[in-house]
Structure 1
Amino acid sequence: MAVTRLIRKDRRNKAIANNKVAAIKHLKSRPTIQLVDIEAIKAEFAAKAAK
């Protein structure tokens, strides 16, 4: 009995999976946003405005 392999479909499925993995890796490679001290930033602007 012969086996039919859907080569194009297999290639497309693997490409979709690889693209998803690459997108996740790309998102994880970005640095996380650090906690920002808003009061310190406001004080800096006030100091600059006072000059």
Structure 2
Amino acid sequence: MSVTRLERKLKRRRRASVARDKMLKNNNFVPPMLNVDVEAIKAEFEKNKKA
């Protein structure tokens, strides 16, 4: 009897852990930056450095 309760408890804890990991992964997601003109950014830094 107690073995099945422990197994259920273990499954419940694993589900909670997986849910927590998914939540953290979703909250920490940063979309990739696409179509960024690196040369224009470098030129802007150089311009600001001289000014």
What TM-score do you get using the length of structure 1 for normalisation?
0.61
Alignment-mate amino acid for residue 12 of structure 2: K
Q: Deviations over 1:16-50 (max 9, x none)?
A: 12211221122122231322331222112111122
Computed over aligned residues only, the root mean square deviation of the Cα atoms, in angstroms, reads: 1.9
Matching residue of 2:17: 19
Identity of aligned residues (%): 21
In structure 1, C-alpha distance between the alignment counterparts of 2:6 and 2:37, rounded to whole Å: 53
Size of the alignment, in residue pairs?
A: 48
- The answer for unaligned runs of 5 or more in structure 1 is none
In structure 1, C-alpha distance between the alignment counterparts of 2:46 and 2:6, rounded to whole Å: 63
- The answer for unaligned runs of 5 or more in structure 2 is none
